[in-house]
Amino acid sequence: MLSLDNTYNIDQLKEFHSRVLKGLESVLSKDIEYFVELKFDGLAVALSYEKGALVRGATRGNGIDGEDITANLRTIKAVPLSIPTIPMNIMIIAIFTVVN
């Protein structure tokens, strides 16, 4: 799970777009479309489910190595320990935020 960077102006956005085009030039077959959303400050967590059961939860850490927080996540009511309707392996990326 990689870290996200902020973009504060149109020039930074154009620089990002140029890097994307350069990185994909060998496989690009059509125009690129972007999905843009607000960046929330919080704890990014990757939830791994195998055959519908939560098997691992990890933080982003330093962007390369994260911390296994599975035991802690199992105590949070909002984190499903199983998703029986999903029989395959899946990873869900979530941002945990604190609401005042």
Active site residue 30: no
Cα end-to-end distance, the chain, whole Å: 27
For the segment 70-92, what is each residue's pLDDT rounded down to a tens digit? 999 999 999 999 998 988 899 99
Whole-structure pTM value: 0.64
pLDDT of the residue at 73: 96
pLDDT of the residue at 64: 77
For the segment 37-73, what is each residue's pLDDT rounded down to a tens digit? 777 778 889 999 999 999 999 998 877 788 999 999 9
CATH value of 10-96 in 3.30.470.30, 3.90.180.10, 3.30.70.1230, 3.30.465.10 = 3.30.470.30
**Burial of 45 per CB tally in 10 Å (0-12, 13-18, 19+):** buried
Domain boundaries, the chain: 10-96
Catalytic annotation, pick one of 14, 22, 30, 39 = 39
